[in-house]
Amino acid sequence: MLSRSDREIIESSIRDIKDFPKEGIIFKDITTLLGDKKAFKILMNHLEDRYKSYNLDYIAGIDARGFIFGSILADRLNIGFVPIRKKGKLPFTTVAQKYSLEYGFDEVEIHIDAFEEGDRVLLIDDLIATGGTAEAGETLINQVGAICVENCFILELAFLNARDRLKAPVYSVVEIN
């Protein structure tokens, strides 16, 4: 369980950038969290403690910031890491899933042989907003035969209700209402 003071340290290490990428948006910049050795260590220790008893086989991280948290957590748990990448970035045979954006669609892919049937996988990313990317990632994990055990996000824009789009449970370190 993350203490109130540890949560405050993590939250205070995340910088707000007003009007990025467009006017009216407040962008949550995690690069300051990554550069804050105390906050980052608290976060990674918390995630390791939370997931060490989940009997996971893999962590799947969403392109690109999910790679940071996912690969470190996978190393700490002594399990494999699988990237879920934007279309055209993986070199082998892939399975793809489209998801909607504010204006149009995008697509993510995973290697068709990323998991064995029934492998237990944690999906991780830095932020869940509308949930389109997370839903696509969760779908890909299940489509190639694994089980998405939980979806983990460092930040959740809870007022957007994105967790309702996901089948597996959702855990967010910091919720923004």
Catalytic residues: 65, 102
* Amino acid, single-letter form, for residue 175: E
37-51 and 65-77 helices, crossing angle to 10°: 60
- Chain-centroid distance, C-alpha 5: 23
Decide: 108 and 136 in contact? Cβ < 8 Å. yes
Question: In terms of C-beta density within 10 A (0-12 exposed, 13-18 middle, 19 or more buried), how is residue 177 classed?
Answer: exposed
Give Cα separations from 146 to 8, 63, 113, 166, 173 (angstroms).
35, 19, 10, 16, 24
